[in-house]
Amino acid sequence: EAEAYLDKHRVIPVLNHLTTLLLIERPPDPKAFLVTKLTEIRNAKKRGQSVSLFHADHVAALFHLFDVTGKGTLQPSQVRQALLALG
pLDDT at 87 over 70: no
Note the pLDDT tens digit of each residue in 18-69: 888 888 889 999 999 999 999 988 898 889 887 766 666 777 777 888 888 8
| Single-letter residue type at 66 | F
pLDDT at 4 over 80: yes
Could you state, in order of their start, the residue ranges of all structural domains in the chain? 2-86
Q: What pTM was computed for the model?
A: 0.58
Note the pLDDT tens digit of each residue in 33-42: 999 999 988 8
- By residue count, the chain amounts to 87
Find all residues with CB under 8 Å of 76, minimum gap 6, and list them.
none
